[in-house]
Protein backbone atom coordinates (compact mmCIF):
# COMPACT_ATOMS: atom_id res chain seq x y z
CA UNK A 1 0.00 0.00 0.00
CA UNK A 2 2.81 2.42 0.89
CA UNK A 3 4.66 1.50 -2.31
CA UNK A 4 1.60 2.38 -4.41
CA UNK A 5 1.39 5.79 -2.74
CA UNK A 6 5.07 6.45 -3.30
CA UNK A 7 4.78 5.48 -6.94
CA UNK A 8 1.77 7.81 -7.33
CA UNK A 9 3.65 10.70 -5.71
CA UNK A 10 6.68 10.00 -7.89
CA UNK A 11 4.54 10.11 -11.04
CA UNK A 12 2.95 13.40 -9.94
CA UNK A 13 6.32 14.90 -9.13
CA UNK A 14 7.75 13.77 -12.46
CA UNK A 15 4.90 15.35 -14.40
CA UNK A 16 5.22 18.63 -12.52
CA UNK A 17 1.81 18.50 -10.88
CA UNK A 18 3.13 18.68 -7.32
CA UNK A 19 5.33 21.66 -8.02
CA UNK A 20 2.27 23.83 -8.74
CA UNK A 21 0.47 22.95 -5.49
CA UNK A 22 0.99 24.62 -2.13
CA UNK A 23 2.68 22.45 0.48
CA UNK A 24 0.38 19.93 2.14
CA UNK A 25 -2.36 20.12 -0.50
CA UNK A 26 -3.50 16.90 -2.19
CA UNK A 27 -4.76 16.51 -5.75
CA UNK A 28 -8.47 15.61 -5.65
CA UNK A 29 -9.75 13.23 -8.28
CA UNK A 30 -12.81 14.14 -10.27
CA UNK A 31 -16.08 12.61 -9.11
CA UNK A 32 -17.53 9.84 -11.29
CA UNK A 33 -20.89 8.08 -11.57
CA UNK A 34 -21.74 4.69 -13.09
CA UNK A 35 -25.09 2.92 -13.41
CA UNK A 36 -25.66 -0.79 -14.09
CA UNK A 37 -27.21 -2.71 -15.78
CA UNK A 38 -27.17 -1.17 -19.21
CA UNK A 39 -29.94 -0.42 -20.31
CA UNK A 40 -31.92 0.18 -17.14
CA UNK A 41 -35.49 -1.12 -16.95
CA UNK A 42 -38.39 0.93 -15.63
CA UNK A 43 -39.61 -0.30 -12.24
CA UNK A 44 -36.53 -2.49 -11.69
CA UNK A 45 -33.48 -2.03 -9.49
CA UNK A 46 -30.32 -0.41 -10.81
CA UNK A 47 -26.97 -0.20 -9.04
CA UNK A 48 -25.56 3.30 -8.72
CA UNK A 49 -21.82 3.56 -8.05
CA UNK A 50 -20.06 6.87 -7.48
CA UNK A 51 -16.56 7.70 -6.33
CA UNK A 52 -14.68 10.79 -5.19
CA UNK A 53 -17.81 12.51 -3.90
CA UNK A 54 -18.10 14.40 -0.61
CA UNK A 55 -17.82 11.88 2.28
CA UNK A 56 -20.72 11.08 4.65
CA UNK A 57 -23.21 13.11 2.64
CA UNK A 58 -26.78 12.48 1.50
CA UNK A 59 -27.18 13.09 -2.24
CA UNK A 60 -30.16 12.94 -4.57
CA UNK A 61 -30.54 11.05 -7.84
CA UNK A 62 -32.59 12.48 -10.70
CA UNK A 63 -33.59 10.76 -13.94
CA UNK A 64 -34.03 13.17 -16.86
CA UNK A 65 -35.24 11.72 -20.19
CA UNK A 66 -33.84 13.24 -23.39
CA UNK A 67 -37.17 13.97 -25.03
CA UNK A 68 -37.72 17.48 -26.31
CA UNK A 69 -39.58 19.93 -24.08
CA UNK A 70 -40.14 20.39 -21.26
CA UNK A 71 -37.15 18.90 -19.50
CA UNK A 72 -38.75 16.67 -16.90
CA UNK A 73 -36.65 15.23 -14.09
CA UNK A 74 -37.92 12.47 -11.84
CA UNK A 75 -36.56 11.75 -8.39
CA UNK A 76 -35.01 8.27 -8.28
CA UNK A 77 -34.18 8.48 -4.60
CA UNK A 78 -31.33 9.44 -2.36
CA UNK A 79 -28.02 7.79 -1.52
CA UNK A 80 -25.42 8.34 1.18
CA UNK A 81 -21.69 8.33 0.60
CA UNK A 82 -19.41 6.54 3.02
CA UNK A 83 -16.40 8.00 4.86
CA UNK A 84 -14.21 7.54 1.75
CA UNK A 85 -16.61 9.38 -0.55
CA UNK A 86 -17.90 6.24 -2.29
CA UNK A 87 -21.52 5.38 -3.09
CA UNK A 88 -22.69 1.90 -4.04
CA UNK A 89 -26.41 1.42 -3.67
CA UNK A 90 -29.39 -0.10 -5.45
CA UNK A 91 -32.26 2.21 -6.38
CA UNK A 92 -35.54 1.56 -8.20
CA UNK A 93 -35.92 3.18 -11.61
CA UNK A 94 -39.07 5.34 -11.51
CA UNK A 95 -42.04 4.64 -13.76
CA UNK A 96 -41.88 6.75 -16.87
CA UNK A 97 -43.56 6.62 -20.23
CA UNK A 98 -40.49 7.92 -22.07
CA UNK A 99 -37.92 5.32 -23.11
CA UNK A 100 -34.58 5.93 -24.78
CA UNK A 101 -31.67 8.12 -23.82
CA UNK A 102 -31.61 9.76 -20.40
CA UNK A 103 -29.26 11.35 -17.89
CA UNK A 104 -28.94 10.36 -14.26
CA UNK A 105 -27.72 13.21 -12.07
CA UNK A 106 -26.23 12.82 -8.58
CA UNK A 107 -26.11 16.06 -6.66
CA UNK A 108 -25.85 17.77 -3.32
CA UNK A 109 -26.10 21.50 -3.86
CA UNK A 110 -24.21 22.32 -0.68
CA UNK A 111 -20.90 20.57 -1.39
CA UNK A 112 -20.16 20.06 -5.05
CA UNK A 113 -21.25 20.27 -8.64
CA UNK A 114 -23.54 17.57 -9.92
CA UNK A 115 -22.17 14.37 -11.43
CA UNK A 116 -23.96 12.80 -14.40
CA UNK A 117 -24.09 9.48 -16.23
CA UNK A 118 -25.75 8.70 -19.57
CA UNK A 119 -28.14 5.73 -19.59
CA UNK A 120 -30.71 4.10 -21.83
CA UNK A 121 -34.15 3.52 -20.33
CA UNK A 122 -36.15 0.52 -21.52
CA UNK A 123 -39.26 -1.35 -20.50
CA UNK A 124 -41.60 1.63 -20.67
CA UNK A 125 -45.14 0.41 -20.89
CA UNK A 126 -47.87 2.84 -21.56
CA UNK A 127 -51.16 1.15 -20.76
CA UNK A 128 -53.62 0.26 -23.49
CA UNK A 129 -55.57 3.19 -24.81
CA UNK A 130 -58.64 3.74 -22.72
CA UNK A 131 -61.95 3.34 -24.46
CA UNK A 132 -64.13 6.40 -24.22
CA UNK A 133 -67.64 5.45 -23.18
CA UNK A 134 -70.41 6.46 -25.56
CA UNK A 135 -72.17 9.73 -24.80
CA UNK A 136 -75.36 9.52 -22.74
CA UNK A 137 -78.58 9.32 -24.70
CA UNK A 138 -80.15 12.63 -25.58
CA UNK A 139 -83.08 13.64 -23.37
CA UNK A 140 -86.37 12.72 -24.97
CA UNK A 141 -88.84 15.44 -25.82
CA UNK A 142 -91.99 15.42 -23.75
CA UNK A 143 -95.12 14.29 -25.62
CA UNK A 144 -97.78 16.92 -26.23
CA UNK A 145 -101.48 15.96 -26.40
pLDDT at res. 19: 39
Q: What is the mean pLDDT of residues 121-142?
A: 74
Secondary structure string (H, E, C) spanning 36-58: ECCCEECCCEEEEEEECCCCCCE
CA atoms within 13 A on the CB side of 115: 22
> SS3 breakdown of the chain: % helix, strand, coil, rounded to 5?
10, 35, 55
What residue segments make up the domains of the chain, in order of their start? 28-122
Mean pLDDT over residues 10-32, rounded? Answer: 47
pLDDT of residue 3: 39
Band of residue 142 on the pLDDT scale cut at 50, 70, 90 = confident
CATH of domain 28-122: 2.60.40.10
Amino acid sequence: MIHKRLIGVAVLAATGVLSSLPAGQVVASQASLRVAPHPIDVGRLATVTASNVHPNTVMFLLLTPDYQKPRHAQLMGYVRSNARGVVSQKVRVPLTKFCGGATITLFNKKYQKSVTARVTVSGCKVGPPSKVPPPPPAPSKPKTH
